[in-house]
Structure 1
Amino acid sequence: MNASLCHILTIIGLGLCTSFGAESSEDPSNFISLRPEGVRNLGIEYREVEVKDFERTIFAIGTIREIPSNHSVLSSRIAGRIIDVKAFEGDQVKKGDVLVKVESRQPGSPPPVIELKAPRDGLIFTSHIKLGEPVEPANELLDIMDLREVWATAQVPEDAVSQLKPGTKAHIRIPALGGVNIDGELFRFDTKADSKGGTIGAIFRVPNKDNRLRPGMRAEFSIVTSSRKNVMAVPREALQGDASNRVVYVKHIEIPNAFKRLPVQTGEKNDRYVEIISGLFEGDEVVTTGSYALSFASGSGLSLKEALDAAHGHEHNEDGSKMTEEQLAAKKGTEAEQPSAWTQPLTLLFMASSAILLALLIISGIRQAKPSQA
C-alpha cells in the first residue's frame, strides 16, 4: 500500500471518527425550545426541504368566464302563458328534464299544453319567467350553462405575451373560494387588446367538476414561463427576516419541540417557493405555518446546554458540543479548588468586623449602666 493511499485512508478514518464520535456545536442564541402546548398554540407545521423543478412565473389578475359554446337558452315555439315552472335559478338540470309547461293560445277544451325540456345538462343561471306570465316565441325563458369547464382570462402585459404559447400552464388562485389553487392551460388570446391598460386577455381552460367556479369571480394568475431542474427550495411562508437577513426555522433533529434559527442565502422566488442557495440541506424540516409567530416566541426558558443535557444524560458545553474528559476533569477541579463561603477572605473580614462591633456595643452598654446603678 503506497503512502498516498495510506494518507487518504487516514483522512477518511478521522472523518468517520469525528462524525460518529462528536456532537456538533451550534450558536446558542439561535436555539428556541418550546413546551408542547406552545408548539400547538402556534399551530406549527413543517415541510421537508427538497430539490425540485423551480418555475419562473409572471403575475396577472383576471376573471372567470363561461365558455360561449356551453351556454344554452330555453324558449317556446308557440305563444301562450306559463302554467307550471319546475326549475329555478341555481338548479342543476339534465338534458330532457321538463322545466316549463306552456298553455297554447290555440283554441281547445282544454287548450293544448306544451312541455319545454332542457336542451343540455347544466346550471340554470338566469330565469326570465313567472307563473302565469304570457310568452312569445321570441322570449328567452331560461339561461342554462354547463360549467364543468370554464375559461379563466388573465390580463397579461403586452411585453410578456411573447413568453406565452398555447399549452402554457398557470397556477390560478381564487380568493372567493378561500385561496383555492387550480391549474389551467392556455387556450388562446382574446381577439382585442386593452389599449388603455396595455394588456391582452390570455384565456386558460380550467376544470370545474364541482361547479364552484362561477362567471365573474376574480382570479390571480401565476403563469409559468420556464422551469429549472434540481433547485433546492422552501415554501415562501417559511422565510422570515428582512431582505438583507433572511432566516428560516428548522426542526431540531435531537430535541423535541425545539428549533434552530438558520440564516440562508436566497435566489429566485415564484408564487409558492423561494430558492435556497446556501444554509440548508436536503431533508431538513423547515417550519412553514407558525414560522412568523415563532420569530417572536420567548421559548420555555431551557438553554441549548440544558436541553441537550436532559436529552442525552451527559453534560455539554454552551454551544451544544459534548464535554470532553479533559473539560469534565477541569470543571470538577475548578469546583474543588473554589473556597467555601466560610473561608473566603472577604467573608472572614466581614465576620471579624461584625464581632468587634458587637463587642464594642456590649462594653458601651455596660459602662452606661454603672452610673445609673450608683
Structure 2
Amino acid sequence: MKPFLFSLLLTLPALAVDAPPVILDEAGVKNLGIETVEAAETTFEETAFALGRIEEIPSNHAVLSSRIAGRILEMKVFEGDVVTAGQPLVKVESRQPGDPPPSVELKSPIGGLVSSAHVRLGEPVEPEKELLDISDLTEVLAVARVPEHIAGKLKPGTTQAHIRVAALGGEALDGTLLRFGTSADRESGTIDAIFRVPNPGLRMRPGMRTEFSVVLSKRENVLSVPRIALQGDPASRVVYVKDFDLPNAFRKVPVRIGQMNDRFVEILGGLLPADEVVTTGSYALGFAGGSGPSLKEALDAAHGHEHNADGSEISAAQKAAKAAGKGEDHDHAAPSPLLTRFFMASTAILFVLLVIVSMAKLRPAQPETPETT
C-alpha cells in the first residue's frame, strides 16, 4: 500500500505548471551580461583530462661562453632580457698584457630569452665556465601525464589536444602529439605525452602547470551547446532559451544530455537546432526577478491585442463580457489550461486513494485460528 501511495505522489511534480519566462529590460540584459549562441549540429569530441607542465625544446637552448681566460669587462644584458642572434652580450678583457689589454666581445648564438646568468661585472672567467643560458621559447613542449590505458588510444602525428595554461587566461592552444616519454611512472601509472605548441608573446615558461583535454574520438552532426549554458542539478538539467517572440525574454527549458567534453555538452532532447541558448549570464537568470514588463504587457505589445495575466488568449466570452461592461469589477481571466489539468489530475488521484482506503476498510477480517492443546 505505501509504495503505491508513494509512486502516486511522485507523479504530482510532473504535472506542475510551466514557469513563466524571465522578462528583462535593456538595462537588465546589460547588467547580467547576457550572451547567446545558436544550438548547432557540430563535430563533437570525446576528450580525456590530464595535467602536465611546460618544458623548453632541448635544441632551442644555447650557452654563452668565452674562448679566452679573463674577466667580465661589460655586461649588456641580464636575466629576463630578450636577445636576437648575433647581438653583443658580454665583453671579456683578456689576461694578456697590453695598455689597454686586448678584449673580445661575445655575441648571442641564438635569439631568445636570457634564462640565467652565471657571472657578474668584473668576475674572472675561464673557457670552461658558462656565462649565460639562452632559450628560444617561440615554441615549447607541453608534456601531459596521461594514464597508460589512455596512451593506447593516442597516435603521434594525429592526436590533438586543447592545452590551457594559467598565464594565457582563458585562451586554449591546440597541439599535436609529437611523441611519448621514454619511460612510464610506475607509482602513478602514467606516461608522458609530449605536444609541441607555439608560445604567443613568450608568456609560457618552463615549469608552468598545464591542463590538457586530449581528443580521443570525434562524432559528426551532434547537437551541442557550450557547457556554460547548462544549469540545474545532475538529475534535472536546464538551459535558458531566448524567446522567439518576446524581446529580452528567456524561457527555462529542461534538456536531456549525453557526453560532455572540456567545452561542449551533447543535447539528446529538449532543444532544436537554431534555438538561441544563453551562455554568459545563464546562472544569474535563475535568480533574476524580472526587471522588465509583465508577461501580459509583453504579449500585448508583441501581438497587438490583449491577453490574460497568465499569458493566455482572451476568450470570446471574455470579450463579450467586457464589451457589455460586466468585466469592470471582477477578473474573468480564464484559468490556464495547464493549471486546469493539474487540478483535474490531483482530484483523480485523491479519488483513487479514497476508493483504495475504503476497500481496505470493507475487507472482512481473517478469522483467528483456534489454539490446540
Asked if 1:56 is matched to 2:83, the reply is: no
- Determine if the alignment matches structure 1 residue 186 to structure 2 residue 177: yes
1:3-18 paired onto structure 2 within 5 Å? none
8 Å CA contact 2:25–2:292 kept in 1: the answer is: no
Distance in 1 between the 2:111 and 2:105 partners? 17
One-letter identity of the residue aligned with 1:269? M
CA distance in 1, matches of 2:151, 2:322: 73
Q: 1:235-274 alignment to 2 at 5 Å?
A: 235-274=226-265
In the aligned structure 1, how far is the partner of 2:196 from the partner of 2:20?
A: 47
Q: Tell me whether 1:177 sits opposite 2:174 in the alignment.
A: no
1:142 aligns with 2:122: no
What's the CA shift string for 1:37-59, capped at 9, x where partnerless? 22111111111111100000000
The yes-or-no answer on 1:108 pairing with 2:79 is no
Deviation of 1:117 (Å): 0.6
Determine whether 1:128 maps to 2:127.
no
Q: 2:159 maps to what in 1?
A: 168
Moved more, 218-227 or 175-184: 175-184
1:336–1:161 distance in 2 versus 1, CA, 3 Å: same
Alpha carbons 2:25, 2:293 under 8 Å: kept: no
Match of 1:216 in 2: 207
CA distance in 1, matches of 2:26, 2:328: 42
In structure 2, the CA distance between the partners of 1:289 and 1:84, relative to structure 1 (3 Å rule), is same
C-alpha distance in 2 between matches for 1:94 and 1:139: 22
Asked if structure 2 preserves the Cα contact closer than 8 Å seen for 1:171 and 1:183, the reply is: yes
Distance 2:249 2:212 in 1: 37
Q: 1:248 to 1:206 in 2, by over 3 A?
A: same
- Structure 1: tracts of 5 or more residues without a match: 1-26, 342-374
CA distance in 1, matches of 2:191, 2:18: 54
Residue 223 of structure 1 and its aligned partner are, at CA, apart by 0.3
Aligned residues of 1:168 and 1:186 also touching (Cα < 8 A) = yes
Question: Match of 1:235, as an amino acid?
Answer: P
What does residue range 1-374 of structure 1 map to in structure 2 within 5 Å? Answer: 29-166=19-156, 167-300=158-291, 302-317=293-308, 320=311, 322-323=313-314, 326-332=316-322, 336-337=325-326
Q: Deviations over 1:327-363 (max 9, x none)?
A: 5535536x7446969xxxxxxxxxxxxxxxxxxxxxx
Change (3 A) 1:310 1:78: same
Q: Secondary structure at the match of 2:298?
A: helix
Structure 1 residue 249, shift from structure 2 partner: 0.6
Alpha carbon RMSD of aligned pairs, Å? Answer: 1.9
The code of the aligned residue for 1:291 comes to S
Residue type at the aligned position of 1:49: A
Letter in 1 for 2:55: R
Task: Tell me which protein shows more helix as a share of its residues.
Answer: 1
Relative to structure 2, which stretch is displaced further, 108-117 or 314-323?
314-323
Q: Which amino acid aligns with 1:58?
A: A
Cα offsets for 1:191-223 (capped at 9, x unmatched): 111111111110001011421111111110000
Whole-angstrom distance in 2 between the partners of 1:322 and 1:53:
42
* Gap regions ≥5 residues in structure 2: 1-16, 331-373
Superimposed CA distance per residue, residues 135-181 of structure 1 (whole angstroms, 9 cap, x where no aligned partner): 01111111101111100000001111111011210001112332321
User: Judging changes above 3 Å, is the alpha-carbon distance between structure 1 residues 253 and 222 closer, same or farther for their aligned structure 2 residues?
Assistant: same
Cα–Cα, structure 1 residues 327 and 99, in superposed 2: closer, same or farther, change >3 Å? farther
Distance in 1 of aligned mates of 2:328 and 2:98: 123
Query: What is the CA–CA distance in structure 1 between the aligned matches of 2:99 and 2:245, rounded to whole Å?
Result: 90
Task: Give the SS at the match of 1:216.
Answer: coil
SS in 2 for 1:277: strand
Equivalent AA in structure 2 for residue 82 of structure 1 = I
| C-alpha distance in 1 between matches for 2:198 and 2:327 | 77
Q: TM-score, length-normalised on structure 1?
A: 0.80
The answer (yes or no) to whether the contact 1:233–1:273 under 8 Å persists in 2 is yes
The whole-number CA distance in structure 1 between the counterparts of 2:40 and 2:80 is 45
Q: 2: CA distance between counterparts of 1:327 and 1:183?
A: 64
Structure 2: how far apart are the matches of 1:54 and 1:198? 28
The corresponding residue for 1:354 is: none
1:23 is aligned to none
Aligned length in residues: 313
Counterparts of 1:205 and 1:327 in 2: how far apart (Å)? 73
Matched-pair identity in %: 60
The structure that has the greater radius of gyration is 1
